[in-house]
Structure 1
Amino acid sequence: MNKFASALCALGLGVAMAASVQAATSEEKVIERIKAVGSVCIEGDESCGGAVAAAAGGGARSGADVYTQKCAACHAIGVAGAPKYGSSEWTDRAAKGMETLLANAINGINAMPPRGTCADCSDEEIEGAVQHMLDSAE
């Protein structure tokens, strides 16, 4: 093979290698651009490594905290017929029993949507908030 043919062969090999490196680099860039930016962890999924508890502040919120953060918007002033915090309306509701009140709070009743405004509350936290409002009755 003469020097000219060798040079052309080397040049062709170099171009092919450069194209291969370019393709790999380009593919890596595409993979980087389309990768997921986060993940979803469902409560009770052990593969999350406790991420839910850490995100939720480490434990259950008190009934008073849930009421203040989630329920007070409606129950402080009686929006759409919601029984007002601290009123005798809760005395009447107490006669229905906690099981019924909790079912109503979880499933919704009248204008109150399911779980009120606390989609991230556990059943126990909702029960605590209901008990907090019952305890407020005059």
Structure 2
Amino acid sequence: MAQFVGFRPNGKGAFTQSYSRVSGFDANHRFSSARDAVDALLTHSSDNMVNVRSYEPSSPRSKEFVYGLKNVDEVLAVLERLAALDLHLIVNETIDIHDGGVSGVVQGQVVEFAPDDTPRCARAERSDFQILLTRYALERRATG
């Protein structure tokens, strides 16, 4: 599981930390600021890079996804911009997608996954016949 820090909007572009899992800190450690949280995550991530995911709790599909950010100010600028849209935010470490494992997402009764891709593989702007076959097979099993 990737290390992360979650934030929820609290109006007018501001946001508050909600959850965290960062190596060297207790679960849900409350950082003194978003800057400190992002700095800790960048420092403890294996590639010293993070992603920012944004979403609305009422919608299972995520909103904007920003990949491969390398410095605190860059991450904070993205957080502030997306929080102004009243979105919930997750900053997570970037994981090597070529490590031999698979990444995936679950939505309802459908599980989508792929090797050498991020969990957003289902939305990648490319045609991948194997992803289509995998998704179709899992949907068929789920519906019986």
Report the TM-score, using the length of structure 1 for normalisation: 0.21
Higher relative contact order structure (alpha carbons within 8 Å, sequence separation ≥ 6): 1
More strand by share: 2
Greater helix content: 1
Structure of larger gyration radius:
1
